[in-house]
């Protein structure tokens, strides 16, 4: 929106200067040639505004808008000069013609089609051209040269300025010839998708340079301009925008398309969506896709649509690949997603190569891509963890409690058949008690009853009371009476359980300290031990990795601080109310 607020007024100023200057110069009723000049001159600021407002990152639109603005100001100067406006104002406005010539004869073809130099070797040409244009315009302003200057000889400073202006104009012509030759070479070397675009740009540049030659030969700038001079004026102001317009219609130049929409015959300019529009549409698409894998698919579709490429693919770190479109050939643009979560690949485009603007768009899409990929990976890990837990419970039931129940039933059948005595009944009763204890232990691994009944602090205290090493649990008194959501209490409880289990099994700890607290809208748990420690960067976090995903899904996090010989500290937190 802010770019439209800038581009719109600039285009209006250019249009107003063009129309008012032309009508001031000729008066009303204006001749047909003047109206033709107005129509052709308005093409440049209109096309520049269209690009600058819709695709502000594309420098070419701002370049065309600047050229149109200089043309409009120069036209206004010509009209004011006829009406006797002050010489300084008229000279300043007329100097804008020099800038207009430099932009259209040099920079518009040089920076075609995406606003960038063809190669680094053209930097010298750009710098020399910029200095030449500045000398031409500045010298004209200082010397007061032109058809509307006051009579009288020039001062020494005016002579120097006039020479500088003439020298700048000569260098401008030389640079224009060099740029034109380079444009022809690029046209001959262009691919099939770009050849038509370059052909029209070569034609438009040829016509505008020919118009400039006509203006020079017939001394345009005098009060009277012949038919040949008028033809030169129209060629200068209208050739390039007309050529660009034809390239848009026939060859989709600059990603503009012209078509007919609906039942009525009216033109529709359809420019490739801006970065903001693509991100907005992508956000809506991701919200409408509940499944993470589907979100990744919609991300690939958004990349394909936004860059107008044949295919786009999103590859996850685990090798999962989602492709939008028909994948043919190698990727021409690839962008890694932050954090090593995956990458985005793009195939070729039918109309022209991918540009710097396309890379900027892809970089912007890499942020929601990372979120979508992270979401897909997190859900995948949680699903895998749930499946692993289900298999563990199934295995424990099959290998443990189920076998004990089978043995208990067999013992009861034997006791009934043989009339067992007190010793056998006592043995069966002890066996039943052991089975009950195993069931309770198994249920405690799923969701301990102490956590449901007494809350987080009481459940952690009960879990740590059975440990074979000295373990202390500290928490503020108000926290003991607080209850939180089941998923929050469960995540924190099992994080503490896994941390103390690791301290016993792997760290060889002699003491363990557990601290529970609530501050800053977060419920925290810290487990510290005096064990042998380890290098977190070189060792896996074992069961804590799954719990970290569980905390992450709740908006929390988990960190492990350890060093060989200095123990381990596990910090976990989740957001809570109040």
Residue 217 CB contacts under 8 Å (≥ 6 apart), including other chains: none
Sheet with 333-337: strands ordered across: 321-325, 311-316, 342-346, 333-337
Q: Give 216's pLDDT tier (boundaries 50, 70, 90).
A: confident
Res 140 pLDDT > 50: yes
DSSP 8-state code for residue 106:
I
Residue 358: pLDDT band by 50, 70, 90 thresholds? confident
Tell me what the mean pLDDT of segment 498-522 comes to. Answer: 88
Structure tokens at 309: 């490429």
Token pair of 370 as six digits: 């990372």
The answer to whether the beta carbons of residues 563 and 533 sit under 8 Å apart is yes
For residue 414, CA distances in Å to 142, 288, 378, 427, 562 come to: 121, 62, 52, 13, 57
Q: What is the pLDDT of residues 283-330, one digit of tens each?
A: 665 556 555 567 677 778 878 877 778 888 888 776 778 888 888 778
pLDDT at 223 exceeding the cut of 50? no
pLDDT category of residue 467 using cuts at 50, 70 and 90? confident
According to the model, what pLDDT value does residue 150 have?
45
- Range 3-8, long-range pairs (CB < 8 A, 24+ positions): 3/52, 3/53, 3/56, 4/53, 6/52, 7/48, 7/49, 7/52, 7/53, 7/56, 7/61, 7/62, 7/65, 8/49, 8/53
Task: Judge whether 335 and 343 are in contact, CB under 8 Å.
Answer: yes
Q: What is the dihedral of CA 407, 412, 415, 421, to 10 degrees?
A: 100
Distance CA 361, CA 132 (A): 35
The 10s digit of each residue's pLDDT in 252-284 is 666 666 655 555 544 455 556 666 666 666 666
Nearest to 45 by CA among 7, 79, 78, 74: 7
Alpha helices in 27-86 (DSSP H): 32-54, 59-82
* Mean pLDDT confidence for 27-50: 89
Alpha helices, H only, 472-542: 477-481, 486-505
Q: Judging by DSSP bridges, how do beta strands 256-260 and 522-529 pair with one another?
A: unpaired
Q: pLDDT above 90 covers what percent of the chain?
A: 23
DSSP conformation letters of 291-348: SHHHHHHHHHHHHHHHHT-SEEEEEETTS-EEEEE---S--SEEEEEGGGTEEEEE--
- Quote the distance between the C-alpha of residue 48 and its chain's center: 24
- Give me the count of residues in the chain: 578
CB-based contacts of 372: which residues, under 8 Å, 6+ apart?
A: 286, 292, 295, 296, 299, 314
Q: In Å, how far from its chain's centre is CA 36? A: 43
Using CA atoms of 363, 365, 367, 371 in order, give the dihedral in degrees to the nearest 10. -150
How many C-beta atoms lie closer than 10 Å to residue 482's C-beta? Answer: 16
Distance of alpha carbon 458 from alpha carbon 421, whole angstroms = 43
CA neighbor of 460 nearest in space, from 485, 446, 480: 480
| Cα angle, residue 564 at apex, residues 559 and 569 outer, rounded to 5° | 30
Nearest residue to 251 via CA among 303, 332, 192 = 192
The pair of three-digit structure tokens given for residue 475, joined into one six-digit string: 């928490």
- What sign results for the dihedral spanned by CA atoms 132, 133, 139, 140? positive
CA-CA distance, 411 to 432, in Å (whole number)?
11
- Lowest mean pLDDT, pick from 17-21, 409-413, 533-537: 409-413
Q: Is the pLDDT of residue 9 over 70?
A: yes
Burial of 369 from C-beta contacts in 10 A (0-12 / 13-18 / 19+): buried
**pLDDT at residue 222 tops 50:** no
- Enter the DSSP assignment of 257: E
How high is the pLDDT of residue 404? 61
At residue 219 the predicted structure's pLDDT band, cuts being 50, 70 and 90, is low
pLDDT at 18: 93
Q: What is the pTM of this model?
A: 0.55
Instruction: Judge whether 24 and 83 are in contact, CB under 8 Å.
Output: yes
Judging by beta carbons within 10 Å of its beta carbon (0-12, 13-18, 19+), is residue 320 exposed, middle or buried? middle
Structure tokens at 71: 């043309």
Q: What does the pLDDT read at residue 173? A: 93
Helix (H, G, I), strand (E, B) or coil at 55: coil
pLDDT in tens, 407-438: 667 777 777 777 767 777 777 777 777 666 66
CB 117, CB 110: distance < 8 Å: yes
What is the average pLDDT across 542-571?
81
What pLDDT band is residue 220 in, cutting at 50, 70 and 90? very low
Q: What is the pLDDT of residue 279?
A: 63
Average pLDDT over residues 189-210: 85
Cα gap 1→529, rounded to integer Å: 56
The structure tokens 């503009």 sit at 256
CB 163 within 8 A of CB 139: yes
């Amino acid at each position: 929106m802010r770019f439209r607020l800038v581009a719109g007024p600039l285009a209006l100023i250019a249009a107003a200067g063009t129309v008012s200057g032309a009508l001031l110069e000729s008066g009303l009723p204006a001749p047909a040639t003047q109206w033709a000049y107005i129509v052709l001159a308005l093409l440049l600021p209109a096309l520049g505004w269209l690009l600058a407002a819709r695709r502000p990152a594309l420098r070419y639109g701002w370049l065309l808008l600047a050229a149109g603005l200089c043309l409009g100001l120069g036209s206004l100067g010509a009209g004011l000069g006829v009406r006797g406006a002050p010489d300084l104002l008229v000279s300043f406005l007329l100097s804008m013609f020099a800038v207009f010539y430099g932009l259209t004869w040099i920079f518009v073809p040089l920076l075609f089609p995406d606003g960038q130099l063809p190669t680094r070797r053209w930097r010298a040409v750009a710098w020399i051209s910029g200095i030449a244009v500045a000398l031409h315009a500045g010298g004209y302003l200082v010397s007061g040269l032109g058809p509307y200057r006051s009579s009288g000889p020039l001062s020494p400073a005016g002579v120097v300025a006039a020479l500088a202006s003439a020298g700048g104009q000569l260098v401008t012509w030389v640079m224009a010839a060099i740029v034109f030759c380079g444009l022809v070479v690029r046209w001959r070397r262009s691919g099939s998708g770009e050849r038509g675009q370059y052909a029209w740009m070569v034609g438009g540049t040829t016509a505008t340079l020919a118009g400039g030659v006509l203006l020079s030969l017939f001394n345009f700038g005098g009060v009277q301009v012949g038919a040949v001079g008028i033809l030169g004026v129209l060629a200068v102001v209208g050739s390039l925008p007309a050529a660009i317009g034809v390239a848009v219609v026939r060859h989709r130049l600059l990603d503009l398309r012209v078509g007919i929409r609906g039942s009525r015959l009216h033109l529709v300019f359809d420019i490739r969506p801006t970065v903001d529009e693509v991100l907005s549409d992508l956000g809506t698409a991701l919200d409408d896709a509940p499944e993470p894998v589907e979100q990744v698919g919609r991300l690939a579709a958004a990349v394909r649509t936004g860059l107008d490429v044949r295919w786009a693919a999103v590859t996850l770190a685990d090798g999962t690949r989602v492709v939008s479109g028909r994948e043919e050939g190698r990727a021409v643009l690839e962008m890694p997603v932050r954090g090593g979560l995956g990458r985005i690949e793009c195939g070729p485009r039918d109309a022209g190569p991918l540009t710097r603007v396309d890379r900027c768009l892809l970089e912007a899409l890499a942020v929601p891509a990372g979120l979508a990929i992270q979401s897909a990976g997190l859900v995948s890990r949680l699903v895998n963890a749930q499946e692993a837990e289900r298999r563990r419970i199934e295995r424990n039931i099959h290998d443990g409690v189920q076998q004990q129940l089978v043995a208990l039933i067999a013992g009861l059948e034997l006791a009934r058949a043989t009339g067992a005595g007190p010793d056998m009944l006592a043995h069966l009763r002890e066996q039943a008690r052991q089975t009950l204890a195993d069931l309770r232990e198994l249920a405690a691994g799923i969701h301990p009853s102490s956590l449901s009944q007494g809350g987080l602090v009481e459940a952690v205290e009960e879990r740590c009371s059975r440990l074979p090493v000295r373990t202390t649990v500290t928490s503020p008194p108000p926290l003991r009476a607080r209850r939180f959501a089941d998923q929050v209490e469960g995540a924190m409880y099992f994080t503490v359980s896994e941390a103390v289990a690791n301290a016993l099994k792997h760290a060889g700890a002699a003491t363990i300290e557990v601290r529970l607290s609530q501050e800053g809208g977060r419920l925290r748990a810290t487990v510290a031990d005096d064990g042998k420690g380890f290098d977190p960067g070189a060792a896996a976090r074992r069961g804590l990795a799954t719990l970290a995903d569980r905390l992450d899904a709740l908006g929390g996090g988990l960190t492990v601080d350890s060093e060989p010989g200095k123990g381990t500290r596990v910090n976990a937190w989740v957001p809570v109310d109040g």
